[in-house]
Amino acid sequence: MQITRFCPSIITPKSADVIATLEALGFERRHKKEGINNKNVTSVTMKNADGFSVIVVQSDRLPQDMITIQMNVRDFDEAYALLESKGFKNVQGDKITETSSSKSTMMASPSGFTITVTEHIRN
């Protein structure tokens, strides 16, 4: 399995506050994706001068912040199957989030930590 990115992701109802804090720490906005799952969900990828990435996801559906590991891969199905074989469960049930540029879902481990696995569609 080829992993192309492995970084923290903060899912929060207060993304402006989180982004302001990260900017104060030297992170800059690099990419923004809006309307995920046809909802008011926005993802902002941030990076600092040393190449560290953090993804901030605005979601009004959470009462407080949640941290997950963002794992971008070349083959979503391969990564999904590997995580399932380790006891991970899709937190969306059978749903996979598919957009014009990616395929993604959050997987929860038996102990409770989560990995959001994403394959970016390459043209």
pLDDT 10s per residue in the chain (123 long)? 999 999 999 999 999 999 999 999 999 999 877 666 656 768 899 999 999 999 999 888 888 999 999 999 999 999 999 999 999 999 999 999 988 888 999 999 999 999 999 998 877
Question: Which of 15, 8, 107 is CA-nearest to residue 57?
Answer: 15
Helices (H), the chain: 15-24, 76-85
Q: Angle at CA 65, nearest 5°, toward 19 and 119? A: 75
- Residues 105, 94: contact at Cβ < 8 Å? no
